[in-house]
Chain A
């Protein structure tokens, strides 16, 4: 599965804090979304939110109800850590400073997600990011 976007904790927190720009980007991704259909595979969810980003945002004070709204959007999917990624994610967290950044960066670098939605694009070096 390839997502258009992956969110890090800053993007989740910004969504919960009523960020207009995050809403604009998610609305654009939502327009591309087509539900699964027996005759046409549809797009599947186009926005990935690593569970690590959800937890980090909530621990930083993001509103639980707003986070639940985000995860309930049809074009958004929460993503658990993949067991096979543990070593790269651990090293990524060490390099980038947090677990949620590591998850977002690994998703983008491996092609599972097209770009990272974040308030901190500079921490991701040359990876593809959208600044919020």
Chain B
């Protein structure tokens, strides 16, 4: 596992962004990215089908 170089920082708005908060955000993003691919594709297809069905 690569070392974690995150540190607390103040962002471009002047808001404090903590290393711990960033780790939580990364975990949240990874959980979504690692979602079951079949489930993801089904959701995408279903949504696009709804759009195209509405178009007819």
Contacts and interface: CB of A to CB of B under 8 A. Distances in A.
B32 A130 contact: yes
B21 A127 contact: no
Nearest to A106: B51
B17 A88 contact: no
A21 to B, nearest CB: 7
Contact of B25 (A21, A91, A95, A129): A21
Interface in A51-87: 66, 69, 73, 87
Q: How large is the interface on B (under 10, 10 to 19, 20 to 34, 35 or more residues)?
A: 20 to 34
Q: Chain B binding site: helix, strand, loop or mixed by DSSP?
A: helix
A114 B17 contact: no
B44 A127 contact: yes
Given A23-B15, A125-B46, A128-B40, A95 B33 contact: no
Q: How large is the interface on A (under 10, 10 to 19, 20 to 34, 35 or more residues)?
A: 35 or more
The 10 A-B residue pairs with the shortest CB-CB distance in the complex, in nearest-first order: A126-B43, A24-B25, A91-B54, A24-B21, A109-B44, A109-B47, A88-B51, A25-B25, A91-B51, A23-B17
B43 to A, nearest CB: 3
Given A105-B47, A125-B47, A18 B15 contact: yes
Given A21-B25, A23-B13, A25-B25, A94 B54 contact: yes
Residue with the greatest number of chain B CB neighbours at <10 A, chosen from A20, A28, A69, A92:
A28
Interface of B: 9, 11-18, 21-22, 24-26, 28-29, 32-33, 35, 39-40, 42-44, 46-48, 50-52, 54-55
